[in-house]
Amino acid sequence: MKSGTHPDYHFITVQMTDGTTYQTRSTWGSEGDTLQLEIDPTAHPAWTGGNSRLLDTGGQVARFNKRFGGLSLGKK
């Protein structure tokens, strides 16, 4: 490998939103820094399944049919 072209790969501490921490290796920051996450698997709705929004497709279809139900395509 060429020297001086690759970033420093070192240990950092990652702090989750609930306060738990773990150590991993990263190119972020410098040796011993703490990365504090704002969104992680313990809090994000994509992983927790919360905050899901169900679409009211029946209501949308009914509203469309109410507005455009009387139109025909001219095929008789």
The token pair at 20 is: 């738990």
Domain contains 58:
no
Domain contains 29:
yes
The sign one gets for the Cα dihedral 32, 36, 42, 47 is negative
Q: How far apart are CA 17 and CA 50, in angstroms?
A: 16
Number of domains in the chain: 1
Domain contains 59:
no
Domain contains 6:
yes
Task: Name the residue range of residue 32's domain.
Answer: 1-37
Domain contains 48:
no
pLDDT-based confidence at 32, cuts 50/70/90?
very high
pLDDT in tens, 46-57: 777 765 555 555
pLDDT-based confidence at 61, cuts 50/70/90?
confident
Contacts of 53 (CB under 8 A, 6+ apart): none
In percent, the amount of the chain with pLDDT more than 90 equals: 36
Q: Is the pLDDT of residue 29 over 80?
A: yes
Domain contains 24:
yes
Q: What is the pLDDT of residue 62?
A: 80
